[in-house]
Amino acid sequence: MNGSPASAGRRAVDLLEALVAIPSVTGQEETLCDFLEARYRREGFAVEPIAVSGGRRNLFVHRGPARVVLSAHADTVPPFFSPRRQGDVLFARGACDAKGSLAAQAVAFEDLAGAGAPVGLLVLVGEERGSDGALAANRAAPPPRGSPRYIVCGEPDRKAVCGWRPPPGASPGIPRLPEAGDRPSSRCSIS
């Protein structure tokens, strides 16, 4: 799955187009999780479900202990609508929040893991309503494989909630927003 930055970009766009074609309104993420689980099992990755509620699940994908975890959510707000392209622009529910982040992180994860990096991918459900997927990931801490030092949240807005508490002394890996004059922990909970 490794390749040039241009091929990674193309693969991310292709994956994004597949993801936005799958309805995944909060509470109805199963088909999208099934798609990702099948994708990663086919490629030889370990896929560990993390129970959320009512048969729903997060996915933790890896090839061994993960020191860096890339995390994004798979659910969207309602209503689902079929994606469409207008030139180079993709109009679709979740294209930005957060299937775009999920597609980019998934491709980065694949390339990094393919190069032997200790990286994982945490796919969360339920972020759009209550963040129950992130809360379930926190309850599952420590993660099933290894102890991540950094968690990179792919949430495009300022209310991000990531899963898994980092070990003492670890950086949460969330950038500051200097213009806001605040610390990342004041906006993004990883505990």
pTM above 0.85, yes or no: no
* Domain span at 25: 5-186
- Name the amino acid, one letter, at 21: A
pLDDT score, position 139: 87
Q: Dihedrals φ, ψ of 156, to 5°?
A: -80, 0
Report the distance separating Cα 22 and Cα 186, nearest Å: 33
- Digit-by-digit pLDDT tens for the chain (191 residues) are 566 788 999 999 999 999 999 999 999 999 999 999 999 999 999 999 999 998 899 999 999 889 999 999 999 999 999 999 999 899 999 998 899 999 999 999 999 999 999 999 999 999 999 999 999 998 886 655 567 888 898 887 655 445 444 445 544 443 333 343 333 333 332 22
The residues, ordered by sequence, that sit 6+ positions from 107 with a Cβ below 8 Å of its Cβ are 1, 8, 11, 12, 15
pLDDT at 150: 87
Separation CA 38–CA 1 (nearest Å) = 16
pLDDT given at position 142: 60
In a domain, 191, yes or no: no
Tell me, yes or no, if 127 is annotated catalytic. Answer: yes
Tokens of 121: 């991918």
Q: What is the pLDDT of residue 133?
A: 94
Structure tokens at 39: 């994708």
CATH number at residue 104: 3.40.630.10
Number of domains in the chain: 1
pLDDT of residue 2: 60
Q: What is residue 90's three-state secondary structure?
A: strand
| Residue 8 CB burial class (10 angstroms; 0-12, 13-18, ≥19) | middle
Q: Which residue has the tokens 């998934």?
A: 106
What is the reported pLDDT for 151? 87
Q: Which of 191, 77, 74, 69 is nearest to 124 (CA)?
A: 74
Q: Write down the catalytic residue from 29, 110, 127, 128.
A: 127
